[in-house]
Structure 1
Amino acid sequence: MNERPPQPSSLPSTQPEDDFISLFAEVFGLEKAQLLAPEFPVLDIEGGARFIDFALRADNKWIAFEVDGPTHYQPPAFDRNKYEDDLLRQNSLIHQGWQVYRWTDHELDQHRERVKEQLALFLERVPGLLDMDDFLPKQRACKADFNLRTHQSEALDWLGSIRAEGTTIALLGHATGSGKTFTAIEDARRVGQPVLYVAHTKNLIRQTERAVAEQWPEVTTGVIQGGRFEPDAGFVLATVQSLCNRLSDIDPACFRYLIIDEAHHAAADSYQQVLAYFRPVFTLGLTATPERPDGKPILDVFRDTAHRLSLKEAIERGELVPIRCVRVKTNVDLSRVRFNAIQYQRKDLEQAITIPARDELIVQTYLDHVRGRKAVTFAVNVRHGEALAERYRTRGVPARAVSGRMPSRERDEVLDAFARGKLHMLCACDLLNEGWDCPDIEVLLMARPTLSKIIYLQQLGRGTRKAQGKECLLVFDFVDNAGRYNQSWNVHRATGNPQYRPGGFVAAPKDRIEEEALTGPQDPLILNLGLWTEHYEEIDVFDWQSAIKDMLPVAELERQLAASEGYLRNKVLQGELEPDHDLALGRRRYFYFAKARKQAIADQFGLKPVIAANIRERFFAFCEDMDMSASYKPVLLLALLDSVDDEGKAQLGELTSAFRDFYLQRSNCGLPAEKGKLRMTRVTELSESEIQRLILEMPFKKYAQRGFVDYARDLAQLRIVPALWKRLDANDHQRLREIAKTRIDEYFQR
C-alpha cells in the first residue's frame, strides 16, 4: 500500500476558526466553548495521522466539526488527491463512530444565523458537553457476589472497605429481591444524600420509593418519571428514559450517590448517557447477571463510560506520578496577541513566540538542569519544533522533531528511537501519536502557550504515566507576559494550586507533601536543579474559564429579568452597568454577572422578572405594548393561536403556513404584504424554510426572551410555556386575537 502523506488541517486561516468558535459560544455559551478541542489528532482506517478542526465529547458520543475553504474543491485550485484524502479522513471518522458536521468559511461569515440554528439543531439532543478526559485514569471499580437476602451486613462492610481504599464504582452481582434494595439504601445513607436511583420500569421506582420511606424516613423523596420532575429531593428515583429527557435540567455534580438497578442494562445508550453525565462520589450497580450477553463484564462498561478521575485526584490516589514544577519567566509579550475563547490567533502567536532568544532560553534550561533526562518540548508549530530540535542537536543533545503530520513510518522510527533511549529529546508541535505511550518520560518543557485547558492537560498527560524508578514528572512552565484574561495555561492553574516553590510538588499524595515539608526533597532529579528554596511564592491561578461557569451571561440575565434583547448589553456599553467579567474575544465582547447581583440589577433598572404568579399579566402587557418596526409579532401571535393544540403546542410547519397565509391574503387582496423592503413583502418568492428562519430569528425571539414561549428543535415544535398556557382561558384567547388584530391595523395605518 502506498503511504498517503498526512494533510494539514482543512482550515485555511485563523478567521474561520474564530468565526466558528464565536458562533458556537453564541449558541451554547462561552463556558461550553472551552470544551472544544482544536486540531484534535486521530488515526484513519489506514493508520495515518489526521487532525479534526474541532472535536467535542458529549455523553457517549464523539463529534467532529470541519470547516472547508471555498477553493478546496473549485477550479483552478481543485486538487483531486486533496478531495479524495478529505473523503478518506471523514469516512474514517464516521466508521469509527464520530458524528461529523461540515461548513464552509463562507457560511460562517455570511450566514451566521443559519449556522447557529444548525448547531443548535445538531446538538439539541445532547444533554451534556463533557471534558476531553479520556487520557486520564478511569475510576477504580470492584465487584462482588453476595446473597443479599442473608449477607447484607457483609456486603455493607465490603462497600465501606473498598471506598476507604479509593474505589468509587462497585457492582454487586446476584443482587435480587428486597435484600438488594435494603443494601443500596443503607449504603447510600452512610455516604449521604442527595442520592439518585435509576431503573427501567415504573414498578421498580414505586417499590423502591416505598422501601426508602420505611428504611430512611427522614430523607425526602422525589420522582422523575412521566409528568413528575422532582430533582431537588434527598433521594430521587428516576426511570432511565424520563431522566435522559431532562438531563440538561440537572447539575451533573448534584448527586453524591448513584444507584443503577438492573445494571446489566448498562450497555444501552440511555444508561450510558446517565453514567457519562453525572459525577457522583460513589456509584453502585445492582445486577443478577454480572456478564452481558456479548461476554463483556458489566463492570468494564461502568468504568469505560463513567467520568474519569481529575488530574489532581489521580495523582493524590497514586494512579499517576506526582508533578513538580519550575517556572521560567521570559520577556516575550503576549498582551497584543489576539485570542478567542480557546486559542491564540495562530499567526500572532507564531510571530510573538518563535524568536531565537526564547528558543535559546528553552534549550539552556534543559542543559543547565536536566541534561540527559528523557524529555519532551512542546513547540508552537512544525517549523518551531524543527528549529528547537536543531538547536538542541547543535548543543549536543540527541533530539528530533516529531509531528502527527509526518509520514507514519518516519514518525514511528523517531518515537521508537526515543523509547529505546537513542534520543533524549522530542520536540512536538501537537499531541503526538494517538495511543502512543512512553511512561519513562521524566521532563516536559511547556514552551507552547495555549488557552485550551484540553490541550494543556493532554500534553501534561504525556508525562504523568507511572514507570519503574520514576519518582515524579518535572514540568518547566515557560511564563510569558500576558494579561489576566489571556494568560496561558500552566500546571498551577491546571491543579488549582497557588503555591509555588522551584522544584516543589504541585500535585502529590498528601503524605508525600507532608514528608517533604519536614525533610526537604530526596529525589536526585530535584536536588540537581540547584533551585530549591524553603519558601513558597504565591501564583495567580485565576481561571476565567472556570470563573464564568456559575455566572450569568448578559443575554441570560436579560432573559431572566424579562428585559428586551440587548437592553442590559447597551447599559454596559453606555457605562451604566459594570459586569463582573468583560471579555473581548474575536469579534465580540462577552459580559458576565454574578448571580447574587440579579436582584440589585433588576432594582437598578426597574426590571421585573416574569414568574408564574405574574406571567399572564406580563404577557398581556407585552402584547398590548409591543414595539413594532414590522407586523411580525402580532401576526405570529395570531398564527400561534390558530395552530396550538390542547397543550399549547404548535408544529412549526403548521405555524409557518398560518403565518405565510396572512401575508398571501393581503397580497391577493391587492394590499402590500408588508412595508418597504421588509422580507415578507416578497412572500410569494420565499420558501417555507426561509419563512421559518424569519419567524425564529425575529418575532419568536421577542416572545421567548421574556419566557412566554419556547422551541423544541428536534420536534420542530413551538410551545406556549405551561405556566402561561394553563392560565389562559377561552376568553383570554379571544382577547389576544383582538389585541393582535388591533396592533396590525394600527401598524398598516401608520
Structure 2
Amino acid sequence: MKLATGQLLDDLLDHISHASTIYIMTSFVMKSGIEQLFQSLEAAALRGADIKILTGDYLYVTQPEALKQLVGLPSDQVEIRLWQSNGRSFHPKAYLFKYEEQGTLIVGSSNMSKSALRDGVEWNLSMPRHVSEEVYDEALEEFIHLFQNENTMIINKETIQKYEERYIAFRQRHPDLAQTWTKQEELNLTFGEPETMEGTTEVIEESKGEYHFRPEPRFAQPDALEALVETQEEGYDKAMVVMATGLGKTYLAAFFAEQFERVLFVAHREEILYQGQKSFGHVSPEKSSGIYNGRVKEEENDFVFASIFTLSIQENLHSFSPDDFDLIIIDEFHHAAAKSYQRVLDYFNPAFLLGITATPERTDGQDIFAICDGNVAYEMDFIQAIQRGWLSPFRYYGVYDDIDYSQVTWLGTRYDQEELLAAQLQEEVAEKVLIGWKEHSQTRTIGFCSSVIQAEFLAQYFRDKGYQAQAIHGKTDHFTRTNVIGQLESREIDIIFTVDLFNEGVDIPSVDTLLFARPTESLVVYTQQVGRGLRLTEGKTHCHIIDLIGNYRNADNKLALFDVTHSEKKKKGELLPVVPASCELNLDTRAIDLIEEIRKKASPRKEQLRMAYQKVKEMLGRRPTYLELHLRSDINAKEYKRIFRSYFGFLKWADELSEEEIRVYERYQDWLEEVERTAMSKSYKMVVLELMLNRGVELFDQPLQAEGIAYDFHQFFMSKRYRRDTDFSTKKAKALWDYKEEKVVKLIEEMPFTKWAGSSKGLVEFDGDVFSVAMDVDEIDKEVLYQLTKEICEYRLEHYFEKKAR
C-alpha cells in the first residue's frame, strides 16, 4: 500500500506504459489533465490496451475540449462515456490498471486536471492487486457496472456537440459559478457527499422451497425445446428464443443444456446468475456449477454462470480457451448487441449459441437478429401466452394523470430528472396515485417509479395515510430487500415502490397488482414490468394494471402492447386495442380524451423522422447508413421511404448530404428510388445487385451475364442456412443445393434478370443474354453513386431476411 500526497502523474504514466487494462473514473476531466496523459494513453491504445474512461456532467465542470481530445485516441479498444447525473452528485476518483497477473487500484482525491495530477494538495491511496485481490476485483466489477449503466452516454463527436450546448447553456444560467470555475479550474473541485449508485450486485433469491424432484418441461417449454432440436437438425449453430416473462426461459435453457458437456450462462444481473445456477441444479443435479463474477471465480465447472461485466474484461476473458464451452447461453438476449457482449461472442467458439429473451426489441438500438444468424427458433409473447392460459389475464385501468409533461425537458432518451421530480413530489399528485390504487388494487402491489426519491416519497405518503408501504431499490441492502419481499408475500405490507429493480430476473408470483406511477419512456422496460404481474399462482384470477396516463411520450402507443391484433393493421381512427377475451381494458374518459388529443397534436411525421434519425446519429457520432438507421432507430426505417421516396431523399431534405452527394442524388434519383422501391418476393434482385457492387466502383454499373455470377449467387444462399431455407426452399430450388451451373444460370435469367427488367420502367434491361443498368454514369459520379447504391442494397437484404424470419 502506498499513500501519494502529490505528483500522482508519475505513477499514472508508469502504470499506463505497462498496463493492458486501463480503467479511469473521475468526476470531471479537463483539457489540462488530458494533455498530461494523452501521449501515454495514445501509445497504450496503439498497442491494443483495453481503455475505458468514465467521467461525469455534474454541474458541467467537465470541459467539452477535454472530451474532444479523448475521442481522438486511435483505437476501437478505447471507450469514453459520460455519466449523466441529472443533478445527482457524481465525484469518484479511481484509476485501475492490470497487466499479466499484476494490477493496481488507485483511489483518492485526484480528478483529471493538471493541478490534481501534478502539484495540487491531493491524497491518493495506491493498492497493488496482490494486497487484496477481493477488493481489487470488486472495484473492477463496480467500475464496469457504472460504465455500462443506462445513465451513461457514449462520447463521440455528435454527443460532444450535444453536451457542449448544455455546458454553454448552464454557464450562461450560472455566470457567477462559471466565472469561479474558470479562475479555479486547475483546482480539485468536490461537490456533496458520495451516494451509493443504483445497480448494485446484491442477490435477491425467490422465497420458494427447494425442489425435491426433477422438474419437467411445461407451458411453452416443450414446443420451444422441439423447435430448438429441429434447429440443430437443420444445421444451425445459433438460435434465439423469445418467451414472455413467466413462461420459464431459464428452465428452458436448463433443459436444452442437458445434452452439452460444458455450458457458459451469461447475464448482466447478479440475481439472474444465482437463480440460473439454482434452476440448472434442479434439472441437472449431477453437474457441477460455479459463479464467475467480481468476487468469485469458479470457472472449473460443468456449468459456469458469468457476469458479463466481469467476463468482458480482457484478462478475464482470455483466462478461458475459445473452445472451453460447448453451449453458450445469453440471458436477456436483447442486450447482446452491446460491445461487452460482442467481445465475449467474438472470442468464444461454442458448438451452439442460444439467446433467450422476453423482449426481442433492440433496447440498445442495435441489431440482435444478425447475432443469431436470423434464426428465431420459437416466439411466444405475453398476449399469446394469456390466450393459451399460461399466464394470468389482466384488467387494465388507465387513470388520468394531469401532470403536464410538456413542461418537463426531454433529454433525448428520458425526462430531465430534476424537473420531473419537481412535478411528481407534490401531495396532490401523490393523493391521485393513492386514490387510483385504492379503487383498483387487490392484495399485493408493485409500484414502479421514475426515481429512488419518488419511490421513497410515495412510500412515506402511503404510510402517512395508514397503509403498509416500503421502497426498495438499488441502494437497499440485500437483507432489507429480501425481508420486504417476504413481507409483501405474507401480506404484512400492501405495496412495494421500486424503480427498475424488478425489470429482469426477479419474480414475486403472488403479486396481483401493478401500479405505474411514472411516464412510460421505454416500451421495452414497460413490457418487462407488466410481465412481473402475470405469473400464474394459486388464488390469482387476474392481474390488475393501474397505469397513470399523461401527456408523456409513448402514452398513445403503449396500449398497442395489449392488442391481440397487429397495431399496424388497425383501422384508421381506432383508439383502443382489442385485448384477449379473458382480459379487460378500462380507461378514464379524460384519459381517452387525452390520447385522442396527443394523436391530433403529434409532431408532423417528417419531424418525428428527423428526431429519430438525429438520435441514431448521436449514438454513432456520424451520419448513419441506411442499414444502421434500420437497426438502431425506434421508428421503422421504411417510413423514410414512404414519406420521402428514399432514404437519400430524406437526407437531402434534412440537409445531411454533401454538395457532391446532392448532385449525384439529383442526377440518378430515378435509379436510387428504383433500387429502394422495387418489389422483392424473394431476395434475388438485391443479391444480383450486391454481386454487381462486389466488382468495385469502376465496374459495378457494367453489363453482366448470368454465367459470370452463377457460382457466387449460389454461394450467397448456401453459405448461410437461414438464407437457403428462406429463398432456396421450394422443390425446384432444393434441386440446386448441389451446385449445377446451367440450372443456376437458368434461375437467374428467369427470375431476377427478367422480372427486374420487366418492372423497372426501362432502368434495367435484359436482352436474353446480357443484364445491364440502362444509364450512363459519369466517372466523376461513380464513387458516390456506388456508395449510395450499396447502402440501399445492404439495408434491403437485411430487412428482407429479418422480415421473413419474424
Q: Which bin holds the TM-score, normalised by the shorter protein?
A: 0.3 to 0.5
TM-score (norm 1): 0.38
